Structure 1
Amino acid sequence: MIKNLTRHGNSAALVIEKPILDLLGATIDTAFEVVTDGQALVLTPVKDAVRAGKFHKSMDKIGKRYKKSFEELAK
């Protein structure tokens, strides 16, 4: 499958359709681990509840700490 990126503010987003999420056992709330070797991206759903909780907690902390910076970058 070939996908195009979608503009999301000053970033690019990759839309993953529901059938693919279903195949992976993922939902909109599932955290994904992103790994690259410089040539390819590998997205893996995080199914460990403790690890996912830590991930979401970290993202919330970063979001609060850098809120103004993110808002400026999104302009």
Structure 2
Amino acid sequence: MTKKLIQHGNSAALVIEKPILQLLNIDLDTDLEIITDGKNIIISPLHQQPNEADFLHSLAKVNKRHRKTLEDLAK
């Protein structure tokens, strides 16, 4: 895919089409990291890392779903 920058005030902007945003799970609220290696621009989404509450919620679901198996394994 070839793209051109567009004028956005005193800056230049790159429009990213919706299918690419969906593929990378990016929306307008996603923070992006922009780095360069001197020749290329590398844009990466910075997805929020799961916190302890997310972990505990997931753990509770696993324990509920697989309680008997986990108890058998613990013996």
TM-score range, shorter chain: 0.5 to 0.7
Name the residue aligned to 2:69: none
What does residue range 12-51 of structure 1 map to in structure 2 within 5 Å?
12-49=12-49
What residue in structure 2 maps to residue 6 of structure 1? 6
Q: Which has the higher contact order (CA 8 A, sep 6+)?
A: 1
CA deviations over 1:18-71 (Å, ceiling 9, x no partner): 110000011111111001011100100010258xxxxxxxxxxxxxxxxxxxxx
Higher helix share: 1
When Rg is computed on C-alpha atoms for both structures, the one with the higher figure is: 2
Indicate the SS of the match to 1:22.
helix
| Percent sequence identity over aligned pairs | 52
RMSD over aligned CA atoms reads 1.4
Unaligned runs of 5+ in 2: 51-75
Moved over 4 A (4+): none
Provide the rounded CA distance (Å) in 1 between the counterparts of 2:34 and 2:25. 17
Residue-pair matches, total:
50
Structure 1 length-normalised TM: 0.62
